[in-house]
Every structure is written in structure tokens, then in C-alpha cells.
Chains A and B, each alone.
Chain A
Amino acid sequence: MACARVPLDEQQVTERDAAGRERTLPALHPHRMEGRCFVPYKPPPDDGCSPAEVEEFLELARFITEDLDWLLSLPHDKFWCQVVFDESLQRCLDSYLHQAPRGLDFAALPSSPAVADIQRSLHRTVFLTFLRMATYKESKDNFITPSVFGEIVYENFLFDIPKMMDLCVLFGKGNSQLVHKMIENIFTQQPSYYRDLDETVPTVLQVFDTILEKCGLQCDGATAMEPLKLNAHQQRTAMTMSLQELVDIILYLCDSTSTIYAFLDIFPAACSTFHSHSFLSRLTSFYETTVPDLEKAVKKRNFDDKRRQEDLWKRLSHSCRKMIETCHLLLHHTCLQPILEGGENTQTFAEELLQHFTSFLPEKRFLSDYDEQFPIADDISLLQQALPLIDETRTSYLLEGVQSAWDSTGRRKQHS
């Protein structure tokens, strides 16, 4: 056992090696790790699979649960040796984050009670493991120097941006406060994660461009960079691509929009990084271009299985909600919140908010959907209360634009 009241990263321990000789080592040392052989996770088998596949999953899940229970029962120093140096543990945890079923997946809840039970148990154990990994101070005797903790988690990839996004979407709904504290703690102790986030956002945007391309809808980047091929008109669209491709695109969209929303909802401090990449305008333009095409394809294409058609519609509609909610989160945290807090640059934030609303005006479908969820008139009213001198001509023009968007979509406003 390591000595107390000294951070783990400064502790030394004296132990006997396999040959019985005494040796003194840093408390965090690969020789103190135990060979446990964590197995990588695989998702539960689909309903209708063979009993052997069910049995295999149960065995695998029991192994992982048993190993993680063992890990959680280790003393602080041994836990960190295992976490830092055991590659099989890192792979096991990463495979769970990546492959565990989300509540949004087709078959999120397995129908077999035994499979459901072990999956639940594993879900909790994985969460507790990540929670312990995100905690640099467990008690007054068991702690790591905060800056060293930041280095350890970063240098060993114990957390990275995709993992934190997975944590938000898997555990954030029911455990938002704990997940928020975990992620906030990680970013606070290791600001390099903000740089990583900044590097990640273009890849997120690339995902939306990929969807546009697959639907045969030109994205701005592609138009500017490459000349249009002569046979471009033969490109597949949402109406002509294979049904499986359409399903994959909608599933991808559903997962992507839900994950981004969950991450920003749990960790709003990330909003400014997304905002700095013009995420808002890219997302609204994506919405305007893609949603009507995909909706038309889901409505008009011939589905043998009508339940599949209804499910796809729900996923598409859910994706729309998440895109709108993401836009609202971004506007709220980067413009509205600072205005309401009444800081120094209120006027600048108000100007920025009005500019965003103005930029929405050509995106009529998006604007009417957004206005339905988050009435723009309410935000403008808030602005007028916070800044009585705001240009009324401009706000009237905006509200007329919103009404015009509603008129052009042929829908009637639900709210007054």
C-alpha cells in the first residue's frame, strides 16, 4: 500500500518481486499492473439469433462486469496502475463506448431478460469506471496532483473527444450532473482538450458534407473546389439510391445529431468552439438542403415493411428536432446568455444574435421549424427588454421574414 497524504504521482512503494526480492518503485509503475486480460465488448445479439450467440454474449458481458467490479474494488494506487498501463482495459472500455447500444438504436433493449440484465449491470459498471477515471481526488488520502492528472488522462488517451461525446450520449440523459462534472473536470485540468475539440469540429462538419454528397446534393466546398462532371446529373439521390443506403444515411444523421446535441447540452462550454467554426450557418444550410429531400424519399419511396418506413420517418424527424435544439443551444450560450447576464459587450452580442436571425431568413424551412420550437418573437422581446434602444425597423423586418417563411411552407403557426 502506498503512503498517505502524498499525491499518488509522488509516492514510492516497496514490494517484493516474483523472486521475493524487495524493490522500491514509483506507485504508478507498469510493474504494479496485474495481467487481467480484459476482453473487448461486442453489442448484444439481435432478436432471433441462436442460443449459442446469446450464451456467448452473456459470457463476454459477465467477464467484463466481473473484471470491472474487480477494478473498482482496487485501492486507488492499484486502480490507476491498471488504468494507465493495461492496454486491454483501455480497449475494452473504448469498445463499450463505441459499440454499446444507444437508446436510439433499432433494438436498444434486448428482449431476453438475461441479456437485458447483464447489459444493465455492465452499463453501470462502465460508467462508474469512467467516473473514477475522471476523479483526481477520491479522498483526502487518495489523490493525484491535478496538473499531473491532466497529463495522465491526455497522454494515455484515457479520455478523448469521441469518448467524451459517447459518454454524453450513453449516460448523459439520466446522469447529466455527474457527466457534466466529469467532462468539466477533464477540460479544466487539461486545456489541451479544447485544442482537440477545435481540431474535431471540421471532421464533424465533414460528416454533414458526406451526407450531402451521398444524397447528390452539392455542398459549397465541393462546388468551389471541383468542376462539375458532365455526367453529374446521373448522381444518385435520396429517391434513387438503394433502400439500404437511405436507411444508413438516416441512421447516421440520427446518431450524429443526437450525439452533438447531447455533448453540447452536457458541456455547454464547447459551444464557443463549435460557434467559431461557423457551425450554426453550416447546420442551418445543411438542414434546408437535406431535410426536404430525405423527407420526400421516406414518404414517397416504396417500402415493403411499413413499420420500417414509419421508423425512418421518426428518426428523420428526431434528427430535425436535434438540429434545431443544437442551433438553439449555440445561440443561447454564445449570444443570449451573455445578453441576459448583462456584461460589457451586450450590444455586440445583441448585434450578433440579430445577424444570425437575419442569416436564417433565406432558409425558410429551417426558420419555420426553428420558430415552431423556439419562437423568435420571444427572443426578440427579450432583446428589447435588455436593450430598449434596439432598432425596431430591424426587428419588425425579422418578424415579417419569419411570417413569410411560415407562409412559404404552407403551414400554420401553432403558437400565437
Chain B
Amino acid sequence: MSPPRLTGALRSFSNVSKKDDFTEQLYDLKTKRLKRRELFAREGLTWHKIVHFCSEHQDKAQQQAASQELKSILLAAKQIVGDEHGQEAIESAAVFLFETFHNKDHVGTEETRTIKQMFGPFPSSAAEASCAAVAKLVAQLGDSHVEDFVQTHCSRHNPQRGSAFGRNIAFSYESYTLDPLEDLPNSGIHEDNVNLDF
């Protein structure tokens, strides 16, 4: 909890601020995760494009193997988002897993964090399974080929639309700190602690 603040009193008792009801929270973490998923689903890469990409560059035998891996990714995605969500949400999660693991050989801390941030708590076995399936797909298709495909379609890797404001502004983290006039006088603090046990 924040300590009592002057500006808190000014917000409450003066008439110069917007009166918001801060007890009513607009969005919590769960709502935010759902919103992020929705935004992700609207962006560049789709499951359909991934399936097409995996099939167009391979012969029939390879296509069968790829199809198996794609199914594994979908299954893992289903386990991560939960059964109650429709096919669209599952495919969007599968795209997310493909993007996350296309250049990774194991599920590291960063990947765990990224998935958790998008979907909340998830079974680690599903992440392992999707990571392994993506790795097999990438091995068949070729690293650079997949990287080019992802870079072309995926907005997550190109988040900057033009240059971000303030990129070149020198920012200082220095902040006001305690600057007392004097230390607590010894007479006050230590007189209670004088050892009288002669």
C-alpha cells in the first residue's frame, strides 16, 4: 500500500481533478490477457498461412509428417487456452506458439514468461510438446526459410511503426532522496539503552 500522499489529499478534497471511482477497476490481468489474445489474433500471421507454408514446400511424405506436427501444435494450443474456447482461439494460440518457438530448441524462462503473459498459467507439458513439434517442422523446412516467413508476416517482431517518441531523449533515473538536517541526537536514542548493571 502507498504511504499517505499530499497529492492523494488534493485529488480527494480539491476540485481540480477528475473524480474517478478508483475502487471500480476497469481492467484486471485476466481481462488484459484476453484483450492481448484478441489483438494478436488480428495481426499478420494466421494458422492458415502456416499450414499453407508447410505444405507448399514439401513432397507428400514430408507433408504427412508436417501435418502430424501441426496437429500436435494445435493440440498443445488447446491445452493451453482451455477447452471452452472455440477453434479460432485455439488456432490463434497455435500461431503464437509457432512464432514463439520457431527459433528456439527448448522452453526457456523467457518463453515460459511470454506464454504465461498471453494465456496465464498453463501446463508445461503442452509448451514442451509444441516446442518439440515446431522444432521438427523447422528442421524439415530449413531455419532461414522459416525465419524469412515469420519476419514477413509477423508484426510481433516489427512492433515499431516509425520511430518511437523519445528514443533519443536522455532520461535520468535520479530521484529526490532523504536529506535530513541532522542525525538523531545520541542523548535521545541511547539514554534508554544505558547499561546500569554495574
Contact = CB atoms under 8 A, between A and B. Distances in A.
Nearest to B6: A256
Interface residues on B, range: 35 or more
A59 B4 CA distance: 26
A251 B184 contact: no
Interface in B22-45: 22, 25-29, 31-32, 35-36, 39
A262 interface: yes
A131 B164 contact: no
Interface residues on A, range: 35 or more
Interface string B172-193: 1111111111111100110010
A62 B26 contact: no
Given A38-B27, A72-B166, A160-B16, A175 B3 contact: no
Interface of A: 35-40, 43, 56, 59-60, 62-63, 69-70, 72-75, 79, 87-88, 90-91, 94-95, 97-99, 102-106, 108, 120, 123-124, 127-128, 131-132, 138, 157, 160-163, 165-166, 169-175, 178, 196, 199-200, 203-204, 206-207, 248, 251-252, 255-256, 258-260, 262, 298-300, 302, 306, 309-310, 313-318, 320-321, 369, 372-373
Contact of A321 (B1, B5, B179, B189): B179
Contacts of B165: 72-73, 79, 128, 131-132, 138
Given A62-B117, A128-B166, A255 B18 contact: no
Given A62-B117, A321-B181, 18 more contacts: A36-B35, A39-B28, A63-B117, A73-B164, A124-B171, A165-B7, A169-B176, A196-B16, A200-B14, A203-B9, A204-B10, A255-B3, A255-B5, A255-B6, A256-B6, A258-B176, A262-B176, A317-B182
Given A62-B117, A69-B159, A200-B16, A127 B171 contact: yes
Contacts of A204: 6, 10
Interface of B is mostly: loop
B26 to A, nearest CB: 5
Given A36-B35, A317-B181, A251 B166 contact: no
Contact of A157 (B13, B18, B27, B178): B18
A259 B181 contact: no
A203 B10 contact: yes
Contacts of B14: 161-162, 199-200, 203
B174 A173 contact: yes
A103 B177 contact: yes
A127 B27 CA distance: 22
Contact of B27 (A39, A72, A75, A255): A39
A157 B6 contact: no
B28 to A, nearest CB: 7
Nearest to A123: B173
12 contacts: A70-B159, A124-B173, A160-B16, A160-B17, A162-B16, A169-B176, A170-B175, A203-B13, A252-B6, A299-B185, A313-B183, A318-B179
